[in-house]
Amino acid sequence: MRSSFVSFTLNGEEKELLIAPGQRLVDVLREQCGAMGTRNGCGQGGCGACTVHVDAVPMLSCLVLAELAEGCDILTIEGAARDRTLHALQEAFVAEAATQCGFCTAGMIMAAKALLDRDPAPQREAVVEALSGNVCRCTGYEPIIAAVLAAAAMLARLPAAAA
């Protein structure tokens, strides 16, 4: 079995990588692309810490084979901020004290971003459902939900171009 070249876009940047057969996307992102913000939590799809967007759809990168990301557009937490300006969700997570140990945070923000991209003014129930695959063992769910709702309100006040 030989390694093969796989191309995808990572946070807007073209990547062409030599990938050993059977590699998981989470490992390729972390070890070959240096995108360490995507965390390796359980390898079972149970914790959500490795959530990234694949073609704008949130997925668990521990269950995605890197060779199947060929031609895809991948967004990780490192791509959530633009020009060193934090995304509204990131600002809101800071302001609402929605982080404790921080290990679930990137996955939480990526799952929440997928929700806000689709539904800019979600009800609380929609936020809870969107985050139901992301585990926070510091049990800080309430501030996290508050942060997502605050981010939605923040985005609603921004001019469309900046959002």
Partner 1 sequence: MSADITARIREDIFAAERAGVFRAVGRALPRIDARAHVSGSTRYYADRSFPGLLHVVMARSERHHALIGGIDLSAAEAVKGVVRILTHKDVPNNWYTILKLIGMGPDEEPVLAEDRVLYRGEPVAAVLAETADAAREAAGKVRIAYEDLPAVLDIEAAMLTDASAIKPHGSNLFIYDGRDHFHVHCGDTEAAFCEVEHILEHSYQSSPIEHAPVETTGAIAVPEPNGRYSIHSNTQAAFFTLDNAALILGVPFRHLRVIGGTVGGGFGGKVDVIVEPIAVLGAMRTGRPVKYAFSREEEMQVSSPRAAERIRIKDGVMADGRIIARDVRILVDAGAYSRHSPYGTIKAAAHMPGPYTVPNVTINAWCVYTNRTPSSAMRGFGVTIGDFAVEVQMDRIARLLGRDPFELRLQNAYRDGEMKPHRKKVEGAALVEVVQAAAERIGHSLPPEYRAMSSSRKG
Partner 2 sequence: MAFAVHRPESVPAVIAALAGPGRVAVSGGTLVIRDINEGRSFPNAIVSLRRAGLSGVVRNAETIDIGAATPIADLARPELAFLDGVLRGFASPTLRNMASLGGNLFAPRPYGDSGVALLALDASLGIAGPHGARRMPLLEFYAAGIAADEIVTGLRFALPAPGTWRWLKATRRALNSASVLAIAAVVETDSAGTVAAARIALGGVDAHPVRSPAAEAALCGRVLDAAAASHAGEEAAAAHPCFADAYASAWYRRRVLPVHMRRALLGI
Widest CA span of the chain, in angstroms? 53
> Does residue number 55 form part of the binding site for partner 1 (CB under 8 A)?
no
Q: Which residues pair with 67 in a beta bridge?
A: none
Tokens of 13: 């940047």
1 binds, among partner 2, partner 1, none (CB under 5 to 8 A by kind): partner 2
CA 40 to chain centre: 12
User: Counting beta carbons within 10 angstroms of the beta carbon of residue 75, is it exposed (0 to 12), middle (13 to 18) or buried (19 or more)?
Assistant: buried
Give the nearest distance from C-beta 101 to partner 1 in angstroms.
5
Which one, of 47, 59, 52, 58, lies nearest residue 76 by Cα? 52
Give the nearest distance from C-beta 93 to partner 1 in angstroms.
5
70 binds, among partner 2, partner 1, none (CB under 5 to 8 A by kind): partner 2
Footprint on residues 94-153 left by partner 2 (CB under 8 A): 111, 114-115, 128-130, 132-134
Helix (H, G, I), strand (E, B) or coil at 85: strand
Give the nearest distance from C-beta 150 to partner 1 in angstroms.
9
- Positions touching partner 2 (CB under 8 A) are 1, 20-22, 24, 43-45, 48, 51, 57-60, 62-65, 67-68, 70, 111, 114-115, 128-130, 132-134
